Every structure is written in C-alpha cells, then in structure tokens.
Homo-oligomer: A and B are copies of this chain.
C-alpha cells in the first residue's frame, strides 16, 4: 500500500515547507519527491491549502473517563474523588470501558491526535477499542498498592504486556502503571520495579502533581516523590512521569540524570488548581516534556490543539517572559517530544523513515487568515475542528472529517447505553 500526499505545506526541520509531496509506503514515510506521478500510488491525497503536521501525541490520559465528562466539575479534589469519581469507578466493567474508550478515540482522531499514553482499568477493553479505531497507544494498568488488589493489578498489567506489547502492527506498547507515591508504598514500588526489570517494561506514573502530595511524602519518607522513586530504583526503568508540577532543583537533577520523561498537562493542572509545572526549567535542564490532556473529567476535552495553545500561553506568565515556550516549542512538545515520551525515536517528525502518523489541517478557516506563519497559526489560532484528514501507521483513519474506522452512530448509541448503566447507581 502506497499513498501520495500532494502539494501540502509540510512541517519539517522546525519550519513549514510549502508545496511538498510526501510518499508513504506501508507504515513509513518513504520520500518527498519533487514531481511524483499520481499513477504510481495506490491512493492520492490532495494537500492544497492543507498544513501537514505529525499526528499529535497525548502523553497522559485515562481515555475511558470521557464517560465522566461534565459529571462533576468545579469541586474540591477530595470531595470530587471520594463522592463522585471513585463511587462511579466502582461500577466500571469491560463493556463500559470499551465504549468510553471508543468515544475518546473518536474525539482524539477528530482533533488530530494519533497516539496516546493511558493508565486505567479494564485495559484489555481499552486496547481492543484502540486496535479497532486504529490508534497508536501505550497502555498501562493503573496500580494501587494500598488496597487489597495490588498483586492482582500487577498480574493484570503483566498479562496486558504479554498480550498487547508490540501488537497491532507495532502500534501498541505496554507500560507498568504504579499510580502515585501516595497510593503505592515502597514495598509495592519495589515489586513493580522488579516486574519491570524482569520483563523489560517501562513505567507510567503520576508524580508531584500537588503541593499536598509533596508535603505528605516529605513528612512520611523525608523525601520528595521524585527522590523517593529514585531511591527505590524505579527510574532504572524508562519512566514517564505525569504532572511534575511541584519539583525542586534536586528533583530536576535526578530526572535529567535518569532520563525521566515528563507528561505536562496544562489544562488539568489549572482545572484542579494544582499549579503550573516549571516546564521551561525542566526543558532547559534537558528533560523531554510532552503534552497531555489527562482524563476528560479534569479537562474536559481531549483536544491537543487546546493543550498546545495553553502550554504556549501559561509559561509566559509563570516565567514573566513573553518568549517562554514559543509556538514552535509547543508544537514540538505535542509531536516529537511526545513521541519520545512514548519510547519512539522514529515518530513525531515528518522525515523519510518516520512512522506515518500524519494529519492534514485545513487552513481555509477565518482563524488562519492572513497566513504569515503557519506554526504560529496552528498553535495560537488553530482549532482541532480544522483537522481534515488523519493517518496512523500509514492507514487513513479520517478523511474529510469522516471517521473511517469507527461506526459513529453505533458508538453514540452504545455510549448512551453504558453511561446509563454506569450511573444508574447514582440516581
């Protein structure tokens, strides 16, 4: 299967090259020919007035939580968790997670997101939905060591690894998902680490999301969550740490030394009043920082255009510097840096040999006029609804805004059904 994208404006080497042709062969980008003959390709996609970007990478989310969208907003964190989210989560099952995930994939593809890192429950169902939708994903079973199900969860996570790592023509990787320092005591973290070492599985964990979490960790262990996890040896495994809002200089030194990658979630950190992560400081230290939406219950959408824009905006005020995180940096965080967070070195760029996760963004909207700088336009005035066509692993999954892998009408019916099932307890 070969595809030609013709006459698009292509984001390459940190700039936009107009009138480029891209050839995709199988799941890889092959070349950028000057005068291709359309007859030579199985499929030809016209790119006139389209901006061609690497697919956007959502490095931290809980996809099935789309079902909690607008269920409980503007609440105190513990009130929200204890009285709304946790009671509802008790009622999840495979059926519910499958359709909640499918809704997330529809929303993500629609908005140009081609890859995601997830941590949740019933992950086999999440994986099945992602496989059908054609998404690229890193999957982790959320693990808590404080309840009775720590060992069961870890066993499930290892089973997930055996079943799904490298599956889907290489679209899936599996990570271990120890939830956080406050839900995973040291002994449990050691167990997770040992399993990771045995099977060679990377880590996806929440770290230093709130000041309270850091304060409690200091009180209990005399160390920050970052230092604690480092001392427990967790960072000897490749680690993706979500949030890292409250990290100090020592934490940053550790993270750099151990090549810990960061999933920065600007909307979620604002919505839950967690704070603004020191992203420019972490980047200056050489740490790879990707962007994420977190779950739809703390966002409330899965819109990487919104996250790029917010990332480019909030650090300017945090640092009192209008040059902090410029448009190009935000775009790179949402693409190539996110791909690194997912463990890829051939994803998130449009180059020969890269995996063909590609989006075409229509530049005909009023928000794209005039067209001085398409990088600025994409980040500051772009809209997820401008995305026209989405390719993942060389396969077109959305064309002219129509989803090709998901039966939208059925999905809507099923989402309505499982939402009723999930929340029947509340009524």
Show the binding face of A for B, using Cβ within 8 Å. Answer: 66-67, 69-71, 73-77, 80, 103, 106-107, 110, 267, 269-276, 296, 299-301, 303, 306, 309-310, 313-314, 316-317, 319-324, 326-327, 365-367, 369-374, 376-377, 380-381, 383-385, 412, 415-416, 419
Contact = CB atoms under 8 A, between A and B. Distances in A.
B73 A370 contact: no
24 contacts: A69-B372, A70-B372, A70-B380, A71-B370, A73-B373, A77-B322, A107-B367, A110-B366, A267-B313, A269-B317, A270-B313, A271-B380, A273-B316, A273-B324, A299-B380, A300-B381, A301-B367, A301-B380, A303-B367, A306-B306, A306-B309, A370-B415, A383-B384, A385-B385
A70 B384 contact: no
Q: Which of A69, A272, A310, A327 has the most CB of B within 10 A?
A: A69
Contact of A322 (B267, B271, B381, B415): B271
Contacts of A272: 316, 322
A182 to B, nearest CB: 18
A323 B74 contact: yes
B276 A317 contact: yes
A103 B324 CA distance: 30
B370 A316 contact: no
Given A303-B367, A316-B271, A383-B385, A377 B74 contact: no
A73 B374 CA distance: 12
A370 B74 CA distance: 17
Nearest to A266: B313
A306 B307 CA distance: 12
B77 A370 contact: no
A316 B271 CA distance: 6
A128 to B, nearest CB: 19
A409 to B, nearest CB: 11
A70 B276 contact: no
Contacts of A270: 313-314, 316-317
B412 A369 contact: yes
B369 A103 contact: yes
Contacts of A309: 306
A73 B75 CA distance: 36
Contacts of A80: 322
A326 B300 CA distance: 13
Contacts of A110: 365-366
Nearest to A373: B70
Given A326-B73, A380-B73, A369 B415 contact: yes
